[in-house]
Amino acid sequence: MDIQCLDAALHNRPERIAEKLDAALSRCHGSYDLIFIAYADCGTQGGVDRVAAKFGAQRLEGAHCYEFFASSPVFHVLADAEPGTFYLTDFLVRHFDRLVMRDLKLDSHPELKDMIFGHYRKVVYLAQVPNEALRDAAAVAADRLGLPLEIMETGYGYLADALTEQVVRITA
């Protein structure tokens, strides 16, 4: 079993995810009997599914990581209750400065904050692990966006189940 990661910054440019995924799978496709893509759709409008079909691979269910961490039913309740929610995960909290502040140019152009986040009403941190430092960092991130913070401990949700299922399939 091997794990190949793509740059998480691709989530800021979802139109490039399928292309990068296709390139990664093209390099290793003939070497494996089973390929599992630990990505949801991630804003690719079916791009991840098309690449998965091309290589006979499976992927995580759901539209994005927020859905597989929270679970589909819980995520849909959250999204329906407040569509103007900006979601954070442990990874996004850890890399908020790079993925949000720098990649969206908010560090050099703070005037963009209202343009990008002006319609958001709150931040929901979907915490995968109970960690006070991450909670504090999520609070700082929400404050930097000028939004109230809610914290929901989700664990790894469907991700843990899906990865366990794949390991069982490989070792069976």
State the average pLDDT over residues 25-40: 89
Which strand (E) or helix (H) includes residue 36? strand 36-37
* 56-92 confidence digits (pLDDT tens): 999 988 899 899 999 999 999 999 999 999 999 999 9
Give domain limits for the chain.
8-59, 65-153
Helix axes 47-55, 17-28, angle to 10 degrees: 10
CB within 8 Å of 154: residues ≥ 6 apart: 69, 70, 71, 74, 126, 127, 128
**Stretch among 25-29, 120-124, 133-137 having the lowest mean pLDDT:** 25-29
State the maximum Cα–Cα separation within the chain, in Å, rounded to a whole number.
Answer: 55
Map residue 150 onto helix, strand or coil: strand
